[in-house]
Amino acid sequence: MPPRERRHGLLIVNTGDGKGKSTAGFGVLLRAWGRGMTVGGFQFVKSAVNPYGEHLAAHAMGFELTPLGDGFTWLSEDLSADRRLAEEGWARCREALAEGRFDVLLLDELTYPLNYGWLDLSQVLADLTARPPGTHVIVTGRDAPPALIEAADLVTEMRVVKHPYREQGIGAQPGIEL
Amino acid sequence: MPPRERRHGLLIVNTGDGKGKSTAGFGVLLRAWGRGMTVGGFQFVKSAVNPYGEHLAAHAMGFELTPLGDGFTWLSEDLSADRRLAEEGWARCREALAEGRFDVLLLDELTYPLNYGWLDLSQVLADLTARPPGTHVIVTGRDAPPALIEAADLVTEMRVVKHPYREQGIGAQPGIEL
């Protein structure tokens, strides 16, 4: 592995309405973890109540994957609480970035608090830009804001071609989607 | 985890010209592995010469990830050798499926030998259809054939929005892409 100062830290964005945005983020964490890099993630929508497959894997593999949400945007009846949760969450992300705690950091579903206006986009972009050289960041979520796309090095749109849940009424399969 | 006979085994296809097709496949393996499922993968293009981050991770996590290729389609000067490699590779996949060795199996970059005509599409689809109930399969690669898309439960197209290698001339970053 090249030392951090010789790496080109990428800002990667996975967006679109299709599946695989977060999942590809976990795939990057797997690959980087395999190379001995320090990986981690913060999840802006997932709550800590029910562990998903990725949390069980992170625990077994020994990396940090922190759900910041309370299932907000779907469960909350108090929007100011959602905003506060999002802001507190971003403060943790900013600190982790500034400290250089991770070689690769996943910011899962960050687009939602940005699009709801709970986080200030220009502040988030400034914090991302100020991260230590060689730090790779992956942002996921639908409807990535244009300024985030502009700032990114690599942007992929995941587009639905066929979706079993919509078309066949099949429920979420444990281990695949959750 | 529901027992295999109560799961709906999905055939998932990640296609398109963008990044994240294989990477999302590895993300599914991570998630399913976290839930204690038996996961594995065969890779149709990767050779065994240089281990990628995903191979190091698979070794550390204790699951099988088998490169079947010899870097074919890029390195070989003998097309009949490529075809033979692909056919031998598929025989191993078919056997693994038929034996029910995996709850979740990644068939990475399978579309290439299909599109080059090295594997018989109708035979591959028949083998996939004959897999034990509850077995999830993920197929990746560009230009998924229409009959494969037709047979699949979930199809996502990864579309390039921005790509650093093309636009900025940045080399592949270890741990992220390889």
B57 and A33 Cβ atoms separated by less than 8 Å: yes
Q: Is residue B168 part of a domain?
A: no
With vertex at residue B6, the alpha carbon angle to CA A43 and CA B155, rounded to the nearest 5 degrees, is 55
Does A170 have pLDDT greater than 80?
Answer: no
Q: Is residue B150 part of a domain?
A: yes
What is the model's pLDDT at position A106?
98
Query: What tens digit of pLDDT does each residue of B40-87 get?
Result: 999 998 776 678 899 999 999 999 999 997 665 555 566 678 888 899
CATH code (residue A121): 3.40.50.300
A144 DSSP 8-state letter: -
- Give yes or no for A35 touching B (CB within 8 A): yes
**Which residues of chain A does B161 touch, with a Cβ-Cβ cutoff of 8 Å?**
13, 15, 149, 155-157
User: Chain A, 63-102: which have a CB under 8 Å from a chain B CB?
Assistant: none
Does A20 have pLDDT greater than 90?
Answer: yes
Does A96 have pLDDT greater than 60?
Answer: yes
**Which residues of chain B does A168 touch, with a Cβ-Cβ cutoff of 8 Å?**
153
In percent, how much of chain B has pLDDT > 90?
71
Mean pLDDT of the B133-157 span? 97
Q: Is residue A170 part of a domain?
A: no
Q: Is residue A89 part of a domain?
A: yes
What is the model's pLDDT at position A70?
66
The residue of chain A nearest to residue B28, with distances taken between CA atoms, is: A176
Q: Containing domain of residue A66, as a range?
A: 24-140
Q: Is residue A167 part of a domain?
A: no
Q: Is residue A73 part of a domain?
A: yes
Query: What tens digit of pLDDT does each residue of A58-77 get?
Result: 999 999 999 997 655 555 56
Domain count of the fold of chain B: 1
ipTM over 0.85: yes
Which ranges in A100-170 belong to alpha helices (H)? 111-115, 121-129, 146-151, 164-168
- Indicate yes or no: CB of B176 within 8 angstroms of CB of A54: no
Q: Is residue A161 part of a domain?
A: no
Q: Is residue B127 part of a domain?
A: yes
CA pair distance A1, B168, nearest whole angstrom: 22
Quick one: tokens of B93? 């996949």
Instruction: Choose between B174 and A56: higher pLDDT.
Output: A56
Element (H, E) at B158: strand B154-162
**Residue A94 burial by Cβ neighbours in a 10 Å radius (0-12, 13-18, 19+):** middle
Task: Please give the sequence-ordered ranges of beta strands (E in DSSP) within A28-149, or none if there are none.
Answer: 39-47, 64-69, 104-108, 136-140
